[in-house]
Structure 1
Amino acid sequence: MRIGLLTEGGYPYVSGESHAWCDRLVRGLTGHDFEVYALSTGQEACGRTELPQHVRLVRSAPLWGEFSAGRGRRAEERKGRGPGRRERRRFAECFGDLVTAFATVPPGDEPARGAPHGGEPAGDPPAVPDGVGGSAVTGKADRFASGLYGLAELARERGRLPALLHSEDAVRLLEAACHGPHALPAAQGAQVNDLLAVTAGLALALRPLSLDWYGDRHGPGLGGVDLCHATSGGAAALPGLLAKRFFGTPLLVTEYGVRLREHYLARAASPLSAPVRALLAAFQGALAAETYVQAALITPGNTRARRWQERCGADRARLRTVYPGMDAAPFAAVADAAADDSKTLVWVGSVEPSKDLFALLHAFAEIRKAEPEATLRIIGGAGRDPQAPGYLAHCRALAAQLFPDEAADARTVGESPVSFEEIGSPEVPALEDAYASGAVVVLSSVIEGFPRSLVEAMFCGRATVSTDAGAVCEVIGGTGLVVPPRNPRALAEACTALLGDPDRRARLGAAARARALELFTVEQNVAAFRGIYLELISHTPSRPVASRGRDAQGVPQPFARPAESHVPGRWAVTGAATRTAVPAARTPSWAVPEGERATALPVQTGGCAESGGAPGIRGAAGFQEATGIQGAPGIRGAGQLRRQGGSGDQTGVTGAREREQW
Structure 2
Amino acid sequence: MRIGLLTDGGYPYATGESRLWCDRLVRGLPRHQFDLFALSRSADQERQGWVRLPDRIGRVRTAPLWAYPEDARHTGRPRGLPGRLATGLGRSYGRRDRRRFTAHVTALVSGVCAGTETGPGSFGADAGAAAGRFTGGLYGLAELARERGGLYDALRSEATVRIVETACRAPGTGRTVHGATVPDYLAFVAGLERALRPLSLDWYDGDGLGAVDLCHAASGGAAALPGLLAKRFFGVPLLVTEHGVPLRSHYLAAPEAPLGAPVRALLANFHGLLASEIYRQAALITPGNTHVRRWQERFGADRAKLRTVYPGMEAERFGSVGEGEDGGGPGTLVWIGRIEPAKDLTALLHAFAEVHRAEPDARLRIFGAPDQGRDGDSYLAHCRALAAQLFPDEATDAHAVGDNPVTFEEIGGPEVPDLAEAYASGGIVVLSSVVEGFPISLVEAMFCGRATVSTDVGAVVEVVGGTGLVVPPRNPRALADACVALLRDPERRARLGAAARARALELFTVEQNLAAYRGIYQDLVGHAPTRRATPAEPLDPDGPPRPFATPPEAHVLGAPPPGPVAAGVSADAFSRAHVRASRVPSWAVGAEGVCAGAHGAGDGDA
Bucket of the pairwise TM-score, normalised by the shorter protein = 0.7 to 0.9
The aligned counterpart of 1:543 is 531
Flag the 1:442–1:74 CA change in 2: closer, same or farther, 3 A.
closer
Query: Pairwise mapping of residues 49-448 of structure 1 onto structure 2 (< 5 A)?
Result: 49-67=51-69, 68-72=81-85, 74=87, 78=90, 82-105=92-115, 111-112=117-118, 114-116=119-121, 128=122, 133=124, 135-215=125-205, 220-338=207-325, 342-406=330-394, 415-448=403-436
Per-residue CA deviations over 1:441-461 (Å, capped at 9, x if unaligned) read 111111111111110000000
Q: Take 2:241 and 2:534, find their aligned partners in 1: how far apart are those partners?
A: 24
SS in 2 for 1:94: helix
Flag the 1:364–1:48 CA change in 2: closer, same or farther, 3 A.
same
- Compute the displacement of 1:139 (Å): 2.1
Flag the 1:179–1:454 CA change in 2: closer, same or farther, 3 A.
same
Q: Take 2:193 and 2:322, find their aligned partners in 1: how far apart are those partners?
A: 54
- Greater shift in the superposed pair: 21-30 or 331-340: 331-340
SS in 1 for 2:339: coil
Flag the 1:357–1:181 CA change in 2: closer, same or farther, 3 A.
same
Q: Take 2:25 and 2:354, find their aligned partners in 1: how far apart are those partners?
A: 45
Per-residue CA deviations over 1:491-543 (Å, capped at 9, x if unaligned) read 11111111111111111111100100111111111111111100100011123
The aligned counterpart of 1:574 is none
- Compute the displacement of 1:476 (Å): 0.3
Q: Which amino acid aligns with 1:493?
A: D
Flag the 1:64–1:519 CA change in 2: closer, same or farther, 3 A.
same
Match of 2:457 among 469, 491, 504: 469
2:26 is the counterpart of 1:26: yes
| Structure 2: unaligned runs, 5 residues or longer | 70-80, 396-400, 572-583, 585-591, 597-606
Q: Which amino acid aligns with 1:212?
A: D
Flag the 1:54–1:415 CA change in 2: closer, same or farther, 3 A.
same
- Compute the displacement of 1:337 (Å): 1.1
SS in 2 for 1:104: helix
SS in 2 for 1:111: helix
Q: Take 1:2 and 1:369, find their aligned partners in 2: how far apart are those partners?
A: 61
Q: Which amino acid aligns with 1:10?
A: G
2:17 is the counterpart of 1:11: no
Flag the 1:150–1:406 CA change in 2: closer, same or farther, 3 A.
closer
SS in 2 for 1:381: coil
* Root-mean-square deviation (Å): 3.0
| Structure 1: unaligned runs, 5 residues or longer | 117-127, 408-412, 571-584, 602-616, 618-631, 637-662
- Compute the displacement of 1:15 (Å): 2.7
Q: Take 2:337 and 2:189, find their aligned partners in 1: how far apart are those partners?
A: 39
Q: Which amino acid aligns with 1:64?
A: W
The aligned counterpart of 2:517 is 529
- Greater shift in the superposed pair: 329-338 or 432-441: 329-338
Query: Pairwise mapping of residues 505-524 of structure 1 onto structure 2 (< 5 A)?
Result: 505-524=493-512
- Compute the displacement of 1:564 (Å): 5.4
Q: Which has the higher helix share?
A: 2
Q: Take 1:427 and 1:596, find their aligned partners in 2: how far apart are those partners?
A: 63
Per-residue CA deviations over 1:304-344 (Å, capped at 9, x if unaligned) read 11000001011011011011111111100112214897211
Flag the 1:293–1:373 CA change in 2: closer, same or farther, 3 A.
same
Q: Take 1:187 and 1:16, find their aligned partners in 2: how far apart are those partners?
A: 33
CA contact (8 A) 1:547 1:561 kept: no
2:2 is the counterpart of 1:2: yes
SS in 2 for 1:299: strand
CA contact (8 A) 1:479 1:512 kept: yes
Q: Which amino acid aligns with 1:115?
A: P
Q: Which amino acid aligns with 1:419?
A: T
Q: Take 2:87 and 2:23, find their aligned partners in 1: how far apart are those partners?
A: 36
Flag the 1:139–1:232 CA change in 2: closer, same or farther, 3 A.
same
Per-residue CA deviations over 1:632-659 (Å, capped at 9, x if unaligned) read 99569xxxxxxxxxxxxxxxxxxxxxxx
SS in 2 for 1:212: coil
CA contact (8 A) 2:9 2:16 kept: no
Larger Cα-atom Rg:
1
Count of aligned residue pairs for this structure pair: 555
2:491 is the counterpart of 1:503: yes
Q: TM-score, normalised by structure 1?
A: 0.79
Flag the 1:566–1:316 CA change in 2: closer, same or farther, 3 A.
farther
- Compute the displacement of 1:384 (Å): 3.3
SS in 1 for 2:62: strand
Q: Which amino acid aligns with 1:189?
A: G
- Compute the displacement of 1:415 (Å): 3.8
Q: Take 1:88 and 1:373, find their aligned partners in 2: how far apart are those partners?
A: 75
Q: TM-score, normalised by structure 2?
A: 0.86
Q: Take 2:593 and 2:309, find their aligned partners in 1: how far apart are those partners?
A: 37
Q: Which amino acid aligns with 1:439?
A: G
Q: Take 1:74 and 1:450, find their aligned partners in 2: how far apart are those partners?
A: 41
- Greater shift in the superposed pair: 168-177 or 364-373: 364-373
CA contact (8 A) 1:11 1:23 kept: yes
Q: Take 2:378 and 2:440, find their aligned partners in 1: how far apart are those partners?
A: 24
Flag the 1:594–1:541 CA change in 2: closer, same or farther, 3 A.
farther
Q: Take 1:94 and 1:339, find their aligned partners in 2: how far apart are those partners?
A: 64
Q: Take 1:595 and 1:549, find their aligned partners in 2: how far apart are those partners?
A: 19
CA contact (8 A) 2:150 2:201 kept: no
CA contact (8 A) 2:242 2:286 kept: yes
SS in 2 for 1:376: strand
Q: Which amino acid aligns with 2:94?
A: G
Q: Take 1:351 and 1:633, find their aligned partners in 2: how far apart are those partners?
A: 54
Q: Take 2:593 and 2:381, find their aligned partners in 1: how far apart are those partners?
A: 73
Q: Take 1:452 and 1:171, find their aligned partners in 2: how far apart are those partners?
A: 44
CA contact (8 A) 2:438 2:460 kept: yes
Flag the 1:549–1:162 CA change in 2: closer, same or farther, 3 A.
closer
Flag the 1:417–1:89 CA change in 2: closer, same or farther, 3 A.
same
SS in 2 for 1:25: helix
Flag the 1:39–1:338 CA change in 2: closer, same or farther, 3 A.
closer
Per-residue CA deviations over 1:609-641 (Å, capped at 9, x if unaligned) read xxxxxxxx9xxxxxxxxxxxxxx99569xxxxx
Q: Which amino acid aligns with 2:18?
A: S
- Compute the displacement of 1:46 (Å): 1.8
SS in 2 for 1:71: helix
- Compute the displacement of 1:184 (Å): 2.4
Q: Take 1:484 and 1:332, find their aligned partners in 2: how far apart are those partners?
A: 31
Flag the 1:441–1:496 CA change in 2: closer, same or farther, 3 A.
same
Q: Take 1:5 and 1:586, find their aligned partners in 2: how far apart are those partners?
A: 25
CA contact (8 A) 1:224 1:545 kept: no
Match of 2:50 among 32, 48, 51: 48
CA contact (8 A) 1:289 1:312 kept: yes
- Compute the displacement of 1:66 (Å): 3.2
